[in-house]
Amino acid sequence: MPTVYGIAAQHRGWVEVESQVGRGTTFRVYLPASVKAAKEVAENGPQVVPKGQETLLVVEDDTSVRQVMVQGLRVLGYRVFEAANGQEAMALWRDHNRQIDLLLTDMVMPEGIAGLELAQRARAEKPELKVIISSGYSAEMTECGKNAAAGIVYLQKPYRASLLGKTVRDCLDRK
């Protein structure tokens, strides 16, 4: 629900909930009509997504989301290590930290190590590490907003594969 609420609020919408014992619950999501015509969107054409050869550590607890991310990043040429939680990520980090150029992690994860803590631990050992933290919560609702100045990039979920590719490339190319 926080993800749905965050997306609706970002688009000047709202969520209504109606619940009755024995009957169930109904969620209604209201969004304003789009001001952009479908024709305008179609005229922009396909986006070219920049490729790379760097090594990434992707940490995402949702298996299907992680698989799509990893597959898309590998198609773009990146070498990808993947972990389902912070504990797995730290084990991979211990074995491969010299190779890893960028950490792409979910903000909220099980197993006791959240994305921000994971980023801080990794950067303590490798300060030049590039970091992207992704979440379904808005940036204002997370600690990422406070850390933007420290070079941590925030990527709002859900996102298109093209935005993921562009964000990774932009983050890697930052000085």
Q: Is 55-173 assigned to CATH 3.40.50.2300? A: yes
Question: How would you label 28-48 residue by residue, b for 16+ Cβ within 10 Å and e otherwise?
Answer: eeeeeeeeeeeeeeeeeeeee
Tens-digit pLDDT string for the chain (175 aa):
767 777 777 777 888 888 999 989 998 888 888 766 555 555 665 667 889 999 999 999 999 999 999 999 999 999 999 999 999 999 999 999 999 999 999 998 877 888 999 999 999 999 999 999 998 876 545 555 555 556 789 998 888 889 999 999 999 998 8
Domain locations along the chain: 2-33, 55-173
Question: How would you label 100-123 residue by residue, b for 16+ Cβ within 10 Å and e otherwise?
Answer: bbbbbbbbebeeebbbbebbeebb
pLDDT for 68-112, tens place per residue? 999 999 999 999 999 999 999 999 999 999 999 999 999 988 778
